Chain A
Amino acid sequence: MSVKKLKRETHPDYIFNRKYEPLIYLVPFAIGLLIFTIYPIINVVIMSFKEGYRLSGNYTGWGIGNYQFVLTNKDFLSAIKNTFIYVLTVVPISTVFSIIIANLLNQKVKGMAIFQTAYFLPMVTSSIAVGISWRYMFNKQFGVINWLLGLFGVAPIDWLGATAGQAPWNIVVIIIFGIWNLMPFTIILLLSGLQNIDPLYYTAAKVDGASSTKIFTRITVPLLAPTIFLTMIVNMISAFKVYNEVIPFWSGKAGVLSNNLYTMVYWIKETFYSKLRLGNAAAASIVLFLIILCFTLLQRWIQKHFNY
């Protein structure tokens, strides 16, 4: 009797396993993704086209009414404006500061570990809790900031309040707070990027007599560019979703006046939870999503064309 022995590679079980086994491993993750990410996204898209949608599930019809509403709503347009001001100041400024600080932290100096820890502290503290203590720092009469500025002869600034119906300093406070919040994470990423640069480049430049400024601008920064772009994309996405930074200063309100400091996420949250206008909130979310998408694509395009 002769039994034909199949080689392992051609055995039907083996082929089946090799083809489908990986899929089986993916199932738990795929189910999670489906329930917690894809389903809500699709749901939001659908919701944004339902007019008069209520928590009960009733709606009056389909259409683009929600989009028309949010794009003409004064508060939402001001939220877009505030968010843009926030993103376009916080992201570049925190990036520049982070590059400089990461570069300093990367020097081989004794005691640097202490500084490194100090800079990463904001990451392990709750930003709301820290914000509350900032609220006291920015107090017009008793705050340490005005006291410090006073030493240089600067008159007290009404950071958190309003004068004659104007509150120009409110947004400055959350911008400073936002920069402070973003920096530790940015510094960590940049520091790891810096540590990946071969020190031989510095040696080579030094032998040729390059000054440390020259080395920084001509070697360090260009070689760090991919990491800088990465942190800018990540930071921009998180900055567009600014919300936590607004909460601590005015007891949950957005700004001292009647909500002069709306941000997009703040407006969406208020429309959804307080006003229960689900369709409007959904449309606003989609607008936010599209803005972030555009910026991300733009940055990717820039990165591609400036990479070495």
Chain B
Amino acid sequence: MQVKIEHLTKRFGDFTAVEDFNMVFDDGKLVALLGPSGCGKSTILNMLSGILPSTSGKIYFDETDVTNVPPQDRGVGLVFQNYALYPHMSVLENIAFPLEIKKVPKEERNKKAEEMARLVHVDQYLHRKPKELSGGQQQRVAIARALIKQPRLLLLDEPLSNLDARLRLEMREEIRRIQLETGVTTVFVTHDQEEAMSISDKIVLMKNGVLQQEAGPQELYDNPANLFVANFLGNPPINNLNGYIKDGYFVLEDESGKIKINNPNVKEGQQVVMGIRAESVAIKDGDHDFEATVKQRYTMGKEELAFLNIGNQTIRVYLSSDYEFKEGETVFVKLRDKGVFLFDKETGVQI
């Protein structure tokens, strides 16, 4: 099912939690709603499920306007952050409960629930109570419960945030597997950019209730619309160098270095921020862009992370461990074309 959102707005009193949000979620795709805490992700999700009424705007499921349709008639499956499994019911009863509500005969709904349990790999725990399951298993049960009534739309609100790091990796792949197997249109809320990057077909990045950019994970990483998007994605975070434009050059703010710019959109004297991904910096002799001093080095297994001082600003870069630089040594820095962006300092928009 395709979901179309038009001019969706939500206000709590004077506070605008979501502002003029427009979006299309394509049929059978997994979309990640990404953004820092409090940016309105849950609010959007709750408006999609119908739990929360919108202030203005429209929501369409395929061609049907569901803006004023109550939650139970929308055909959505919901997975909560803390799962909200009914503690007094067994795994089987929990999964079967949506069908029990629909008055499906016991035998039939139990058969269906067992099928769902097999899909999410909890079929060996059918008669346990939720508290006798691990976090990951509870998570799977919650997904099975959301899927059993064959929802047209599956909504997951930070489903992995209660799990430890290893389980998180495992469960996000599980969610992707289940989503691909069932082909259900899915919206997945997270504030973890890595999670969003790794499993989604499309990422919708929000800030303070306003859409920043929607794109595939790679596109978002390779071509951020603004400084916020660039800073939000990537680990280690992108480096920011402050400076200004002069005679077709980017000049560092303390004038300790400059680099030729081939960007027709820059204006003379414009205050800009240069965003440089850590992997877009090469250390080499001869032809170089900046001189830098090695401040600190950290081994991270296969490679090394180094802090370099360029003038009075610091950047993080990867060094292959073949190099034997000492802290305090001067090195020559060359920027690659890919992963280097210019942003207007005032508006943050990519130039």
Contact = CB atoms under 8 A, between A and B. Distances in A.
Q: Name the interface size band of chain B.
A: 20 to 34
A273 interface: no
Contact of B101 (A200, A209, A308): A209
B48 to A, nearest CB: 11
A207 B86 contact: no
A201 B86 contact: yes
A204 B101 contact: no
Query: Which of B71, B82, B129, B149 has the largest number of chain A CB atoms within 10 A?
Result: B71
Q: Name the interface size band of chain A.
A: 10 to 19
Contacts of A204: 78, 80, 84
Interface in A210-250: 210-211, 214, 218-219, 222-223, 225
Given A200-B80, A308-B129, A207 B101 contact: no
Nearest to A214: B101
Contacts of A198: 84
Contacts of B100: 218
Nearest to B81: A200
A206 B72 contact: yes
B102 A207 contact: no
Contacts of B102: 209
A173 interface: no
A205 interface: yes
Contacts of B80: 200, 203-204
Contacts, number: 50
Contacts of A218: 97, 100
Contact of A207 (B49, B82, B87, B129): B49
Contacts of B88: 222-223, 225, 308
Interface string B37-74: 00000000000011100000000000000000001110
B51 A203 contact: yes
A269 B202 CA distance: 80
Interface in B76-125: 76, 78, 80, 82, 84, 86-88, 97-98, 100-102
A208 interface: yes
Contacts of B149: 208
A207 B84 contact: no
Contacts of A203: 51, 80, 84
A111 to B, nearest CB: 22
Given A207-B49, A207-B71, A207-B72, A200 B97 contact: no
A208 B51 contact: no
Query: Which of B50, B82, B98, B101 has the largest number of chain A CB atoms within 10 A?
Result: B101
Contacts of A207: 49-51, 71-72, 76, 78
Contacts of A208: 72, 97-98, 101, 149
A200 B82 contact: yes
A201 B50 CA distance: 16
Contacts of B98: 208-209
A64 to B, nearest CB: 47
Contacts of B78: 204, 207
15 contacts: A198-B84, A204-B80, A205-B101, A206-B71, A207-B50, A207-B51, A207-B72, A207-B78, A209-B72, A209-B102, A211-B101, A222-B86, A223-B86, A223-B87, A308-B87
Given A203-B80, A208-B149, A209-B72, 11 more contacts: A200-B84, A206-B51, A207-B76, A207-B78, A208-B97, A209-B101, A210-B101, A214-B101, A222-B88, A308-B87, A308-B88
Interface of B: 49-51, 71-73, 76, 78, 80, 82, 84, 86-88, 97-98, 100-102, 129, 149
Interface of A: 198, 200-201, 203-211, 214, 218-219, 222-223, 225, 308
Closest 10 CB pairs of A and B: A209-B72, A308-B88, A208-B98, A222-B88, A200-B84, A207-B71, A204-B84, A210-B101, A207-B78, A208-B101
